[in-house]
Structure 1
Amino acid sequence: MHHDEMIGKVRTLAGLPDGGSAERASRAVVCTLSERLPAGLARHVAAQLPPDLAAAMRRAADGTGADSGHAGERFGLAVFAGRIADRAGTDEDTALREAAAVLEVLDAALAPELTERMAGALPADIRELLPVERAVEESGE
């Protein structure tokens, strides 16, 4: 999926006013996601993203970005939402809505086996932000 298509879908799904807001939300989510995923998995996800989002994800996964943590960190939904909100300049409720939109777009953009690995690496509370079919499938229900 191309960059403009991804950003357009995030904008629509999250109900954002413009492409800049969708870009900011997308970067915030992929950076935070890369901190939560194991580094190797984050790099595999980045390899299937448009170059600018991939670069943001790799910097966060490698710990080289100005606002990056360390890949494979263990944290739950509250920290996930807080980091996204800080990066996107929004509140945590908005960050969760935007994260769900970005994760839905990622689910459609990535190879199915990669999205399964990504979902399996996330704790249940973050996994609930994934599209309904993926969240139910991964929880074993």
Structure 2
Amino acid sequence: MSIQKQERTTSWTGLGVGTDRKSFLDAISSQIPDYEADRAAEAVFCTLSERLSASWVAHLREQLPPDIRDAFRVCHRHRGEAPVKLDRDDFYLRVANHLNAEPENVRLVLHGVFSALHAQLPDAEAKKLEQQLPAWLQGTWAAARLHVDRPY
């Protein structure tokens, strides 16, 4: 009788995904292959950092593995500015402009980045972050957490 050895991983989820920058970006690429993963992450993180308070951005960065933290920094174009109450259209437009993408594709980009981000966060932190998001963004965040099919 053979005994299989179960390997331990250092990922938050225990699934072995998202433990470093490369696997994080690979997770994004698998969701949104038509976009450069690092640019998609930067666009989403930059826009989130505009929407969230500086203390929440710092708190969220601390939840991430060290080599991903740099990806979630306040965008160089927006440093020093107070968070803005962006409505849905403005939020989507800012992500689209950051990526030079069509605004109708932004929800797909958000889903891909959020899905990879969920693999980095403990469930309790993901739920806390959801409460910081506007209602119109909470659904996309929750769908990515629940691995609902990505939007098309």
TM-score bracket for this pair, using the shorter chain length: 0.7 to 0.9
- Are residue 39 (structure 1) and residue 57 (structure 2) matched? no
CA distance in 1, matches of 2:47, 2:67: 15
Structure 2 unmatched runs, 5+: 1-18, 147-152
The code of the aligned residue for 1:14 comes to: I
TM-score normalized with structure 1 length: 0.77
Q: Which has the higher contact order (CA 8 A, sep 6+)?
A: 2
Distance in 2 between the 1:76 and 1:82 partners?
10
Structure of larger gyration radius: 2
Q: Which moved more, 1:101-110 or 1:50-59?
A: 50-59
Given the alignment, which residue of 78, 87, 95 partners 1:76?
87
Deviation at 1:51, TM superposition (A): 4.8
Q: Which amino acid aligns with 2:123?
A: P
Cα deviation for residue 131 of structure 1 reads 3.5
Distance 2:27 2:140 in 1: 16
Equivalence for 2:101 = 90
> Could you tell me which of 1, 7, 10 is aligned with 2:28?
10
Q: Deviations over 1:102-133 (max 9, x none)?
A: 01111121122221111101111111211428
Task: Give the aligned partner of residue 125 of structure 1.
Answer: 136
More helix by share: 1
Change over 3 Å in CA distance of 1:52–1:72 after alignment to 2: farther
| Gaps in structure 1 of 5+ consecutive residues | 136-141
Question: 1:139 is matched with which residue?
Answer: none
Cα gap change, 1:68/1:84 in structure 2, threshold over 3 Å: closer, same or farther?
farther
Identity of paired residues, percent?
A: 27
